[in-house]
Amino acid sequence: MHLHCQAQSNPPQNVSPDTSQIKINLFNHKKVMNEIFGTPNMDIRTIGIFVYDGFFTLDAIGPMAVFSELMDTKVFYISHKKGLVKSGRTQIYVSHTINEIKELDILVIPGGSTATWHLTKDTALLNWIRKIDKTTQITASVCTGAWILGAAGLLQGKKATTHWYRAQEMLGRFGATYESKRYVNDGKYWTSAGVTAGMDMCLAIIQYIRGDKYTQGAMLDLEYDPQPPIEGGIPAKSDPKVFQFMQTMYDYGMLPLIRNDNEEKKANTSNNKSKKKTKHKSCETKQNHCHE
């Protein structure tokens, strides 16, 4: 939290002096903070945000901004390799790799679209996520990052949320129960709806760790008070024609991948059944020979 301390500075002329105002200086700063904000419920020292080419920018930058409000906590990006990671018009320099990071207190997986889908098939990444999850106090996803957590098997039997695009269908693929909420907490797993909802989830996690007053301090530092000019943002609050257009646009990129995956699963299931039948016939043949 970026608190600025001044020793008994004069109040602005347009603000009435408040005699009950807390006076903070370099010597009593920590004491006053503890009196106001209390002590943490959890000891969070490291937060890693996994990024990859094609992630949606705010899915990662939002959590970075919010979690940077946690004092004495290191927040950093992680990727497959060091260097620049591209997100639309944005590039982020990453100095930590999945091969280097062995444990985290909090892991965050941001979302995207086709790039995110492809990572649900990335065995090396999924294995790393499972290993890190064994060390975390909180494992979280933003937007379609829930697809990756689901592919790692971490949302099986859990309540979760994700971006509105085919949300129930997508989470159902991984054995999760979709809840149409801004964010969902089930055990140590936190999932948020699309993009901006990730900031709400991260603030909720700060509230969980540090309480209401510390969260208010973070919100003041960020001046977090969303006031969109019109109603929208989710299908239920959007014009049906706008929703249909956006859904069709997403389908153009995603449906071929989803259908191809469905066909592969059917083929694998069919092959497995054929193998079982062949094995069963082989056993019967052997038994008949034995009886002869």
Residues labelled catalytic: 143
| Torsion of the alpha carbons at 258, 262, 264 and 268, rounded to the nearest 10 | 150
Q: Which amino acid is at 213?
A: K
DSSP letter (8 states) at residue 28: T
Strand, coil or helix: 277: helix
Distance CA 213, CA 35 (A): 11
Q: Cα 230 to the chain's mean position, in Å?
A: 26
Distance CA 123, CA 109 (A): 16
| Residue 20 CB neighbour total at 10 angstroms | 4
Residue with the two structure tokens 């082989």: 282
Q: Quote the tokens at residue 229.
A: 């000019």
Residue with the two structure tokens 């999945």: 98
Pick the closest to residue 90 from 49, 59, 120, 66 (CA basis).
Answer: 59
Whether the CB-CB separation of 162 and 170 falls below 8 Å is answered with: yes
Residue with the two structure tokens 């990859």: 52
Render 29-60 in DSSP notation, one character per residue.
HHHHHHHHH---SS---EEEEE--TTB-HHHH
